[in-house]
Amino acid sequence: MNSHPVVAVCGATGAVGQEFMKVLHDLDFPASEVRPLASARSAGKAIAFDGCGDVPAGELTVQEMTPASFEGVDIALFSAGSDVSKQLRQAVVDAGAVMIDNSSAFRMDDDVPLVVPEVNPEDVKWHKGVIANPNCSTIEMVVACKPLADIAPIKRIVVSTYQAASGAGYPAMLELQEQSRAFLAGESMEANYFAHPLAFNCIPRIDVMLDDGSTKEEWKMVAETRKIMHNSDMKISATCVRVPAMRCHGESLNVEFAAPITVEQAYAAWEAAPFVEVVDDPENHVYPMPGVLAGSDPVHVGRVRVDASVEHGLAFWLVMDQIRKGAALNAVQIAKLLV
């Protein structure tokens, strides 16, 4: 891999694509060129970029994303949807670039690593031109669970998610704002991005329903966690809920271990771990909250306590900005592993 790679940002005008641009700057990624790509309707648009590596701050012109767009590209950061990723995979690989894909298109393919740098960085070594970025809710959970699993093997996880509107994209965030305005004005609310209005509501279904009564989002958390943590026997039960937060996903976890683990050991493990921040003083109303953590990088942990319903158990609460660490930041971290 070139030590000063050419980076293509695919889907550069979307919410995650824009976050890619911010993260490249924030990490001062050593790019020699940043090439923003998007659909034909966005081609020619100028977008601001704060600079990174050899690329100065200024405006970059969006180019139409076609198979020819990847000539000379070393790393292609994709956030353009599964269909687009599938259509362009071969073009990226044929150009000699590495696709880091944010969609679910390739996550469970046997020949595609599914990587969270704090958990399984070694898996980037066996890529064949494509590396998958996991589901945001999965990333949040495994970043918090890996330091604990290093102390005592995990037997079972029960997780409930509280997922923000931004998980469905920028238009869904705007719809939540409009629904909130309409509700407070006594007007009817329209729902286009979810089956029901999200404002002042919770929707206990994310993605399509599966035959066993779970949703695809819940299945992702189970299957992806097992793959990332190299533990096909881990028992996981997930319930995924959309809530009227604008940005940042919350998760409630009950984790059962195969050996004793104390709250104090968990605190020490998290405080030593990268991208985990303990925010836990509930007596003084201090705990992670989605409304105040937008734009932050770590997985925030709070409400930590013993789960007395099992022999060796802990319960805790997580909040993470899923557009940052759950998407763009994780992908750029993978790119840094490659470089």
Domain count within the chain: 2
pLDDT at position 81 is 87
Q: Specify the DSSP element, H or E, that contains 97.
A: none
Q: pLDDT for 23-53, tens place per residue? A: 999 999 999 999 999 999 999 999 999 999 9
Give the residue from 28, 15, 79 showing the smallest Cα distance to 54: 28
Beta strand 299-306 with 313-320 is antiparallel
Return the pLDDT at 36: 96
191 and 275 share one domain: yes
- Could you tell me if residue 334 is inside a domain? no
Flag whether pLDDT at 14 surpasses 90.
no
Predicted pLDDT at 327: 85
Is the pTM higher than 0.85? The answer reads yes
Beta bridge partners of 64: 38
Q: What is the torsion angle, in degrees rounded to the nearest 10, for the CA atoms of residue 96, residue 79, residue 103 and residue 85? A: -50
Q: Which position among 136, 145, 240, 248 bears the catalytic label? A: 136
Q: Based on the domain organization, do 234 and 314 belong to the same domain?
A: yes
Lowest mean pLDDT among 127-131, 159-163, 258-262, 325-329: 325-329
Q: Do residues 163 and 299 share a domain? A: yes
pLDDT band, residue 160 (cuts 50/70/90): very high
Residue 312 within any structural domain of the chain: yes
Say whether 249 is catalytic. yes
Which of 10, 52, 127, 249 does the annotation list as catalytic? 249
Average pLDDT of the residues in 245-265: 98
The parent domain of residue 235 ranges over: 138-322
**Residue 53: partners with Cβ closer than 8 Å, 6 or more residues away:** 4, 28, 29, 30, 31, 32
Average pLDDT of every residue of the chain: 96
Query: 109: pLDDT confidence band, cut at 50, 70 and 90?
Result: very high
pLDDT digits (tens, 9 = 90+) for 267-292: 999 999 999 999 999 999 999 999 99
At 27, which CATH number? 3.40.50.720
